[in-house]
């Protein structure tokens, strides 16, 4: 069964966490996706979620924690009811620059995946655009990660695939069986929404989401997570995104 969630990073500048959760609940969301901001006191976060009638089935965890303190990551995830753990990002200085470097990272992620799977979680990588920049050998880092770590799933951020210069439909066709979740966001027409870093509310940009979701519905991806990297109005984005994705999913 497909479900819709809200990536809380979209509202990282919102001043009141409890108020944000109430807003999302009142808008119609039942689920949210967490990130490291919410892990310092997971019990308090869980109480706030419960008070708003929300659950957190997925969360982003930094690679440093997953490698150096996997027990802590597992404890946090269990406290929050997270069943899907995703590694979301690498700082530019930490990104491999060669095919061998990306293979080494994939092998590290495969070790993490084994630990998380053994603890009862789904584990995957969440992409941005830099994973689609070819290395000198001509290989694409995203393909290296998925091919080298077959025990790892993929939370595909479709709009970042586009910003990485690739056709997302081709990637869905090639690696659709690896998808466990999808990030749904939109790109504004050129020159528009410059105060929002060129992103748009889902359904109000240039992404062909009806076609994309038709393709995604044929994959194992069961969680569709709406996101906007820099919305100027959280309430507007939350409502528009939910309405659009509900319409596309049918």
pLDDT tens digits, one per residue of 119-140: 999 999 999 999 999 999 999 9
41 half-sphere exposure, CB direction, 13 A CA radius? 6
Taking the C-alpha atoms of residue 155 and residue 225, their distance in angstroms, rounded to an integer, is 9
CA-derived radius of gyration, the chain:
17
What pLDDT score does 14 carry? 79
Taking the C-alpha atoms of residue 105 and residue 16, their distance in angstroms, rounded to an integer, is 37
How many residues are given for the chain? Answer: 250
Where do the domains of the chain lie?
A: 3-236
Q: What is the pTM of this model?
A: 0.97
Rounded to the nearest angstrom, the gap between the alpha carbon of residue 179 and the centroid of all alpha carbons in its chain is 11
How would DSSP label each residue in the chain? Answer: --EEEEEGGGGTT-S-HHHHHHHHHHHT--EEEE-GGG-SSHHHHHHHHHHHT-EEEEEE--HHHHHH-HHHHHHHHHHHT--EEEE----GGGS--SHHHHHHHHHHHHHHHHHHHHTT-EEEEE--SGGGS--TTS--HHHHHHHH-TT-EEEEEHHHHHHTT--HHHHHHHHGGGEEEEEE-EEPPTTS-GGGTTEE-TTSSS--HHHHHHHHTTSS--EEEE--SS-S-HHHHHHHHHHHHHHHH-
Block residue for tokens 């995604």? 216
Cα torsion through 132, 138, 143, 144, rounded to 10: -120
What pLDDT score does 1 carry? 66
Taking the C-alpha atoms of residue 214 and residue 99, their distance in angstroms, rounded to an integer, is 33
CA angle 125, 170, 31 (to 5 degrees): 45
What pLDDT score does 47 carry? 97
User: What tens-digit pLDDT sequence spans the chain (250 residues)?
Assistant: 689 999 999 999 877 788 999 999 999 999 999 999 999 999 999 999 999 999 999 999 999 999 999 999 999 999 999 999 999 999 999 999 999 999 999 999 999 999 999 999 999 999 999 999 999 999 999 999 999 999 999 999 999 999 999 999 999 999 999 999 999 999 999 999 999 999 999 999 999 999 999 999 999 999 999 999 999 999 999 999 999 999 999 8
Overall fold of domain 3-236: TIM Barrel (3.20.20)
Count the Cβ atoms, other than its own, within 10 Å of residue 129: 16
């Amino acid at each position: 069964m497909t479900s819709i969630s809200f990536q809380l990073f979209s509202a990282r500048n919102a001043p009141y966490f409890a108020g944000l959760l109430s807003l999302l609940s009142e808008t119609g969301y039942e689920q949210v996706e967490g990130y490291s901001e919410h892990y310092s006191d997971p019990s308090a976060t869980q109480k706030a979620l419960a008070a708003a009638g929300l659950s957190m089935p997925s969360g982003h965890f930094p690679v440093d924690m997953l490698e150096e303190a996997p027990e802590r990551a597992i404890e946090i995830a269990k406290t929050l009811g997270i069943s899907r753990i995703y590694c979301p990002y690498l700082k530019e200085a930490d990104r491999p620059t060669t095919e061998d470097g990306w293979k080494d990272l994939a092998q590290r992620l495969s070790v993490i995946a084994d630990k998380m799977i053994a603890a009862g979680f789904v584990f995957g990588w969440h992409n941005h655009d830099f994973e689609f920049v070819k290395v000198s050998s001509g290989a694409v880092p995203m393909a290296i990660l998925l091919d080298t770590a077959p025990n790892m799933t993929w939370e595909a951020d479709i709009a970042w695939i586009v910003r990485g210069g690739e056709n997302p439909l081709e990637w869905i066709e090639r690696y659709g069986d690896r998808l466990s979740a999808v990030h749904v966001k939109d790109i504004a027409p050129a020159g528009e929404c410059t105060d929002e870093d060129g992103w748009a509310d889902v359904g109000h940009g240039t992404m062909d989401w009806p076609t994309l979701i038709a393709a995604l519905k044929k994959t194992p991806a069961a969680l569709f997570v709406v996101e906007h990297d820099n919305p100027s109005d959280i309430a507007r984005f939350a409502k528009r995104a939910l309405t659009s994705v509900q319409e596309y999913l049918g």
